[in-house]
Structure 1
């Protein structure tokens, strides 16, 4: 009886040691997984600041906090568990879901590019009467819109994160998924909060009580921020097209082989290889987004006529 008890303790000890050894790999897995979703993170960061434009400056951080809180809840309690369950019961569905999300990113990216070059077409269009709303209602609408956009991007982040840890022990999977969800949410919305308050920081530094050099620096921040937000918007759109197309390409054996061959051919110059692949995926994403846009428009036209 005693020998059986000590044998059980030995088995538990071995299991604990194996689990501890496995958990040593978690930081590396978190780092690698976070890197894989960097394109969507860039897009998420670029998209969010627009939801506080035109609102009371004193409410900006509160709005960012509301969006971040709901984003984290969605990742931790809805999307991550769903990915883990889906990976256990229907792992074959991960790639199609990723590709569907990639197609959506291409579609959204194309819509943004199209809107950049077709604004002049909307000048003479008569707009519908705008219903007056209170600042509280406007804030609620902005938060709802931001969360709706975020959950789509978050779903892609979670799906890509899970695809990087399949085959790992379940404890590792859970820890990595939770760590990625928390880290990315804090990083994205912390940076977004800094972005939306940079103009206030600039105004503060431009006050007469500071050294002239600091005042000049503050004024330059205020002047630069509109340009920075514009650049960030372009970067986010490019990232959306690039990431969406790369996700789809990796799900199709033929295009996946092309990407691997391209990387192999330019292996000696990693930066050039990355730029060429990103450019190819960006162009491919734009073309795919165009095709999807036409299919959506045709579907709407058919549904209206039927």
Structure 2
């Protein structure tokens, strides 16, 4: 009976999603959306179903904020369709089966940091090349760290929330490799980061890594359930491009093709700016797909300053900085966090 219980919950979740589909986006109301609550509550007690429960909870909250659907002038059809489809796939038994976990021992060469910010949470995802100690083929891997956050903590303050949980961020700022010892890694190339299994290594400049190690590095296969265009984020190095700064935004002309540059994804918590990208000669970034076209999200650029190549990294402040602008941003963020802690302390004393 215990084995059937999760299956019954999957059926219940599928039923709610089908009710949603029958009603259509314009037919949503609070009664319909409220039907997800008991399903989510029951799922949260099952560790294997928490991923789906979290998705349904967030999806239902998003829909509830837009009720009633009949009064909506515009609706985020693409986002809702993606969330609905993802949830429906996860209701299939076995779709969310735990991925195999191995061990990684060798040298980790960071390429850059992708920062994801939400009103109540923040995540830093470090993209890197892993060179195994046994001399195997280099691999492209990722290491992520997340933390809850107050909505008033922004900019450089985000790094202050993340630093205590991942020593890799300091290595990124300092341009160093990390030596890994039996670090858990999934079949999809995600390192399950544990500071105890990592030590700082030798200097490793990301552009050198991109030019020397990245061309031979292989990507891990993506699990079928995760093969969505929104997840495409392939590290690439571009050189020899022409910059086009037009009304529709910044773009690189590469081999005769126009590649749009998504400067909106660059974090405010770093020194990389649109102006730096526009004056660059080389760009290390993530190739993404959005709304039917490829985009480039810059992680770092090289520009010529006084006849010397100077690198500017989006994650340069991740582990701390002596850069003047970074120091000012850190101080402002520290003051904001200090005020929040004082307020929290007063509330607790009451």
What TM-score does the superposition give when structure 2 sets the normalisation length? 0.24
Larger Rg: 1
User: Whose helix proportion is higher, 1 or 2?
Assistant: 1
What TM-score does the superposition give when structure 1 sets the normalisation length? 0.27
User: Whose strand proportion is higher, 1 or 2?
Assistant: 2
